[in-house]
Chain A
Amino acid sequence: MLAAILAAGIAVGATYALIGITYNLMFSASRVMSFTAGQLGMVGGVLGALFIGRMGIPIIPGFVLALAGCAAIGVVTEFIAVRPVLKALDQHLYVLSTLGLALMIQQFTAIEWSTEPQPFPRLIGVVSGGPFDEKFWLPVVACAITVAGLEYLYRRTLVGRAFLAIAEDNFAARALGLPERNLRVASYALAGVVGGLAGFASGELLLAFFANGAMLNFLGFVPVALGGLGNNRGALIGGLALGIFQQAANFIVGGVFASVAVFTVFILVLLLRPQGLFGAPVARRV
């Protein structure tokens, strides 16, 4: 049973961590938290099932197409829900605009795809069943590749350093001549890819289901809130911890109480440390 809890916990935890990283990517480029983060995960799963399962496209092109679709949604988010409200960031209109867009994506999927969970195709199919089934390790692999890739991007490449510069001080970065707007669009596209990857890799586990968007929105936000905004390592640790905690609670006390437990922990941690467990407090308002 322990193996089953760990396998499922780490798998969903990796998915939550990826959605958390999606939140972070959008946040560091624009100081905006977007409700579309979880929907990107949902769309990744639905597009994968659509292209590979329903339309019969081979796995690799289907995968690329699904991620490209999510990247496009990321860019659309930036154009219609983020850019117009960036001028008045302190009014927090982005909460409303991204909520509107996220709901549109969710409802469109519900109507045009299905309101029932749909199967996601087997991708590799070597070990069937048990804790080493691909549905458990695919999200972990996706998460590991993403984290390693982002580390490489930020530490070794010029573009990655430009991303960091914008996240650190947008104003100064612009003064140095960095193409802030293009980098922001690129960040949103990247966020789309990461979110889509989360949904695609966890497709066999969570199925292609429109309601996954809202679920991932919340459970992907928990690691961000716990780990501190913009902190990818915090999101990774927080995501895995959340996944294992949730699955353990699921096995021990049952689904409803597991949800209540997750929610309670989330609220308590936030109330005690609003800046997250690994974040630093901010002050100076006057």
Chain B
Amino acid sequence: MQRSLPYVALFGAAALLPFFSNDYWAVIGARAAVYWVLVGGLNLVVGFGGQLAIGYVALLTLGAYTASAMVARFGLDPFLAYGMAGVVGAGAGVIVGLPALRLRTFYFAMTTLGFATIVTQIALAWQSVTGGGIGIAGPELPQPLDSPWGFYLFALALAALVTWLSSNVAHSRFGRSLVAIRDAEVAAEAVGIAKPRLLSTVFLFSGACAGVAGGLFATLQTYITPDAFSFDLSVTFFIAILVGGRGSIMGPLIGNVLLTLLPEVAAPLVAWSTFLYAALLLAIVLAMPGGIAALLDFRNRRPLAANRSIVPRPERISGHGTARGDIVLKNVVLAFGGVRAIDGLDMTIRPGEVHGLIGPNGSGKTTTLNVISGYYAPQQGEAFLGTVALPHGNPQTRAALGIARTFQTPRLIGEASVLDNVTIGATIAGTAGFLETVFCLPRHRADEKRLAARAMDALATVGLDALADVRADRLQHSELRFMEIARALILNPAFILLDEPAAGLSSEEIARLGALIGAMAKQGIGILLVEHHADLIFDICDHVTVLNLGRELASGTPAEIRAHKEVVSAYLGG
């Protein structure tokens, strides 16, 4: 509720504008509202998903011509025409967006730019529908929406609607997954986020917004020609989001209003407006990457308590997923070029057991872990869960199988809160579909409540509940390690793979970590522990495997390993 207050105030004030102002401002205000219908949807793609779609004017163009042609050529009702524009926009949104699944940053930006050029050229050439260079009349609305203020209020209502819809998405598992893909793609895969599906859905949504915005734009302009859809406009949309700040809705909303008003309040600058926007973009990137949203984020400017200590509560660990058997590696071989990183490894990890994996640097410990969690496909051999072979090279499938993991370098989503960083671990536990989320239906609200409770529970277990609201990039290194464990625990996994969880921790913290890991195993979770701290390994492991050059050097209980001659000389020393 508190979250929506600023928006209610802003749109409420905007709704009062007709009482204070003249028709000129009605047009400007309507323009800002129409742009926001597009930018609000695009914000999910650019601001949340981090996909650099700079050519969204293509979808505005498509929407505008669809709506206009439907009305002018087929005599369709204008509201139905807007709907058609939305449908066409959604379809085109997926087409524009799909390359993002394969292509990164600059490449993707270029494809959207190319798409924008093509659409304008087609609009110019396809005269029978678009009127070519002569243009076509935009859809006319019936009374009372045909007056400047009538249309303004209509556009404003749609802008408010888009704000609400996009905010529902942003504060759901979909929104969190988008940010995860943007900032920590590898971690996103490990928690089971399927990028293709997620991105296609979001491109569908933002494309629909852009299509409707196009229809509204045509009405606002009353008459459209391809000139109206300059690339400058596209850049304005894009820059509004970045000026506003990534991962925020209020920021881009303010950015959008500012960028629409700027040429109006500084009339002599109109010719230079695109130049100024570009300069603004450069300045924001170099000096203030957080944008307006970072200025408004008062909560994260309060200093955190110094001397914080992490006190996990191992006794809180209760539920865990039922294991479908042991994780078994059979004769796994994996070579990078000529280097055999794993060279015929057999290993079994049992539920309720802490299995240590040690060995010198480059002996294949992390590589083994990456084979189990599906990042690497072995050239020979298989990894099994029970009797079923784990699919190769497909890390998104592991979360559903109850296998969670942490990373050697913590994969944090820096700009999200600690709570969100943990909640992301239970993404696959969400039950509400995208449509339910967009319209904030009961199942979505129940999901959010349940996931938040589970995340708080996991945070309390690892002892970070006091920091739940803090932005994750403000945490200390050791806290990030425990945060990753919470992210694994929230899944209620059957297995947890820990990649050097004690690296960078103080000796006290290591002892607490050991107790936590021990409690997890006692509750029946199977644990693979890759570590260099020999003390920790020998304290808590039930079984230890020692690797050297990708092969098993020794395997047995901690006591057997400690007495193993070769291990002592090759690795432990003494």
Instruction: Tell yes or no: B11 within 8 A of A by CB.
Output: no
Contact flag A285-B186 (CB < 8 Å), given A33-B106, A85-B285, A104-B278 = yes
Contact with B along A189-227 (1 / 0, CB 8 A): 000000000000000000000000010011001000100
With A and B bound together, what is the CA distance between A108 and B231 in angstroms? 15
A255 surroundings in chain B (CB, below 8 A): 121, 125
Instruction: Tell yes or no: B229 within 8 A of A by CB.
Output: no
Instruction: Tell yes or no: A271 within 8 A of B by CB.
Output: yes
Contact flag A270-B103 (CB < 8 Å), given A85-B286, A96-B285 = yes
B272 surroundings in chain A (CB, below 8 A): 107, 111
Instruction: Tell yes or no: B439 within 8 A of A by CB.
Output: no
Residue pair B114, A260 in contact (C-beta under 8 Å) = no
A33 surroundings in chain B (CB, below 8 A): 106
**Extra pairs beyond A97-B282, A104-B278, A107-B274 (8, CB < 8 Å):** A92-B104, A96-B242, A107-B272, A263-B118, A270-B111, A271-B103, A274-B103, A285-B186
With A and B bound together, what is the CA distance between A67 and B315 in angstroms? 72
Residue pair A266, B114 in contact (C-beta under 8 Å) = yes
- Pick 25 A–B contacts, CB within 8 A, sort by A: A33-B106, A80-B286, A92-B52, A93-B289, A95-B105, A96-B52, A96-B242, A96-B285, A97-B285, A100-B278, A100-B281, A102-B278, A103-B274, A107-B278, A111-B275, A254-B125, A255-B125, A259-B118, A260-B122, A267-B114, A270-B103, A270-B107, A270-B111, A286-B186, A286-B366
A267 surroundings in chain B (CB, below 8 A): 99, 111, 114
Contact flag A80-B282 (CB < 8 Å), given A95-B105, A270-B107 = yes
B277-291 interface with A by 8 A CB criterion: 277-282, 285-286, 289
Main secondary structure of the interface of A (DSSP, over half): helix
Closest 8 pairs between A and B when the two form their complex, measured CB to CB: A100-B282, A103-B278, A100-B281, A107-B275, A256-B125, A33-B106, A92-B105, A104-B278
Contact flag A271-B118 (CB < 8 Å), given A101-B278, A101-B282 = no
With A and B bound together, what is the CA distance between A256 and B125 in angstroms? 7
With A and B bound together, what is the CA distance between A111 and B232 in angstroms? 14
A263 surroundings in chain B (CB, below 8 A): 114-115, 117-118
Interface residues of B (CB under 8 A from A): 52, 54, 99, 102-107, 109-111, 113-115, 117-118, 121-122, 124-125, 186, 231, 235, 242, 271-272, 274-275, 277-282, 285-286, 289, 336, 366, 370, 375-376, 407
B102 surroundings in chain A (CB, below 8 A): 270-271, 274
B111 surroundings in chain A (CB, below 8 A): 266-267, 270
A123 to chain B, nearest CB (A): 30
Partner of B285 from the list A100, A221, A271 (CB cut-off 8 Å) is A100
Instruction: Tell yes or no: A284 within 8 A of B by CB.
Output: yes
A128 to chain B, nearest CB (A): 31
With A and B bound together, what is the CA distance between A100 and B235 in angstroms? 9
Chain B: CB-nearest residue to A102? B278
Residue pair A218, B285 in contact (C-beta under 8 Å) = no
Residue pair B122, A256 in contact (C-beta under 8 Å) = yes
Chain B: CB-nearest residue to A260? B118
Residue pair A225, B110 in contact (C-beta under 8 Å) = yes
Residue pair A104, B279 in contact (C-beta under 8 Å) = yes
